[in-house]
A and B are shown apart, each in its own frame.
Chain A
C-alpha cells in the first residue's frame, strides 16, 4: 500500500519528537536523565506489550520474565567475554523463543489461563535462575561495562523508534488486520481462514523479544543484578497499568499513559516506599473503573462529541 499524506505527517511528527527527546541529556541534569531512561524503558515495554495485547485482549504478565531473561543474557554474556552488542540479538532471539514456547502452550486456551500462566512463568523463571545461582554459589552477577546512562538512554530511544516502526508496519499488514479480526471475534477469524494461533504467537514473539532487549539494555545500569531485581513482578504489573492507562487502541496510546504514570510513580515511591504494592493495586482499580479504554478512549470520544456538536450547529 502507498503512503498517504497523514502517514507522512505522523512519521515526520514522530521523528521530530524523537529528536527532541534525544536532546534531553544535553540539559546535563542527571535526575532528568534518570527519569528519561525510566520513561523510555516503560514506553518501549508498554508499547510492545500493547502490540500483542491491544488487538488480542490477552493480558500478559510475563514482561518481567522476558526482561529478566534479557538482563541475565547480557550479564552472563559479558561475564563470559562476549561483546555487549552481541548479547542484544542473543537476548532478542531467546525472548522470541521463550514467547513462542509460552504461546504454543497457552494461546489455544482462553484468556484467563493465559494471564495466570504468564504470571506463573515469570515466577518460575526467577526460581530457576535463583536455583542456578545457588548451585554455582553466587547471589548475583556484576555487569561491568563502560556504557553510561546517556548511552542507555539513546539506545532505548533507538529501540523505541524500531518498535513504533514495527507496530506501524504490522498495523498496515495482513497480520495486523488478522489480529484485529481475532480481537473482535476469534470464531469469525478462524472461519475466515485465519490461522489464529500463528498470528497470536508471532505478535507475542515480537513483544517478548523487545522486552528481552530492554532487559539487556538496562543491565549495565544496574551494575549488580540478582533475580529479585531482574524478574520483579512489579515490572509486569506496571507495564500493564501504564499501557491500559494510555489505551491500547492506538500505537501512541501506551506512551500517553507511561509519561504521567512514571512521574506519579516516582513521587509515590519516594513518599510512600512501603506502600507501593498497595498503591499499585489501587491505581489499577481506578484505571480499569474510570478509564476502561484509557486516555485514547477519552480523546476519541471527545473528538466524536466535537464532531457531533459541529454537525448539529
Chain B
C-alpha cells in the first residue's frame, strides 16, 4: 500500500524549545490511503511532530509539504482548510455546545465547507459513522470518556480532511472500548483515508498500521512495517533501555 502518490512529506523538520530539541531533523513521507504509525517512548516528540504538521507550532527548521506544496509557514487555520485535521492527545471539545454542534464546527469551517441544513446532515452522518448519532442533542458534559473521543473524531472527519492526525486516540480506553475503537479506526482505514496514528497500544499498531516511524528523543530511529520496527533492537532499546540507569 505504500505505492500511492505522496500526500505529506517532512524534510528536516526540527523543533527546539530553548535548549531542548523535541523534534530533530525528521524526514518521512505519507502516501495516499496509507496508515502511518508514529511511535516512540514518552516524550520522544510524537505530539510535537503532529503539532508541527497541524500548524499548532512552527518548525524551527525544515519544511513540511502537502502534495508538494510547502505548508509549514501557514497558520493552523489555513492548514486545516487545506485538508489536514487532527485530534488532540487530551480531548478538546467545545464545552458549551451539544454533540451535534461540536461536529458541525468541523463541517462548517473545515476543508470542505458547508452551512445550514447541509452542514447538519453531514454532521449527523459523521456521528452515525462513529456510532453516536443517537446522542446528537446531548450536552458534551454528559458523555462518557470514549464518547468524548468519538465526538472529537467526528468533528475532525466532518471537515473531510485529506490527512487525518490522531494523537493517541485509543489511550485511556478500557478493553471493551479499545476493541470498539480499533474497529472504528479500521473502518476509516478501509475507507481509504490517509492517517498518521500516534499510538502506544501495540495491538493497535500491529493491526492498523501499514508502516511505522519510530522516534526517540526527537530523532527518527527506525522506519518500516510494524513487524520490522517492533523487532528492531534499537527500537526495543529505546522503549526499554532508557530507564536502565
A residues with a Cβ closer than 8 A to B are: 1, 174, 177-178, 180-181, 183-185, 187-196
How many chain B residues touch the partner (CB < 8 A)? 31
A183 to B111, CA, bound (A): 21
Residues of A within 8 A of B75 (CB): 190, 195
Q: Judging by beta carbons under 8 Å apart, are A191 and B85 in contact?
A: yes
Q: Judging by beta carbons under 8 Å apart, are A188 and B92 in contact?
A: yes
Q: Judging by beta carbons under 8 Å apart, are A191 and B95 in contact?
A: no
Q: Judging by beta carbons under 8 Å apart, are B77 and A196 in contact?
A: yes
A185 to B155, CA, bound (A): 14
A191 to B77, CA, bound (A): 5
Within 8 A of A (CB), among B82-136: 85-86, 88, 92-97, 104-106, 108-111, 113, 115-117
Residues of A within 8 A of B104 (CB): 177
Residues of A within 8 A of B97 (CB): 180, 184
6 interchain residue pairs of minimum CB distance = A184-B94, A193-B80, A193-B109, A190-B76, A193-B81, A192-B109
Known A-B contacts: A192-B159, A193-B113. Give 16 more (CB < 8 A): A174-B108, A177-B105, A177-B108, A181-B105, A181-B109, A184-B97, A185-B93, A185-B95, A188-B105, A189-B105, A190-B80, A191-B56, A191-B77, A191-B86, A193-B78, A193-B111
A118 to B63, CA, bound (A): 38
Q: List 7 A-B contacts (CB under 8 A).
A: A181-B105, A187-B92, A191-B85, A191-B86, A192-B80, A192-B105, A193-B80
A196 to B, closest residue via Cβ: B77
B31 at the interface (CB under 8 A from A): no
B44 at the interface (CB under 8 A from A): no
B54 at the interface (CB under 8 A from A): yes
Contact residue among B55, B76, B93, B115 (Cβ-Cβ distance under 8 Å from A174):
B115
Residues of B within 8 A of A178 (CB): 109
Within 8 A of A (CB), among B138-159: 155, 159
A1 to B77, CA, bound (A): 25
Residues of A within 8 A of B86 (CB): 191
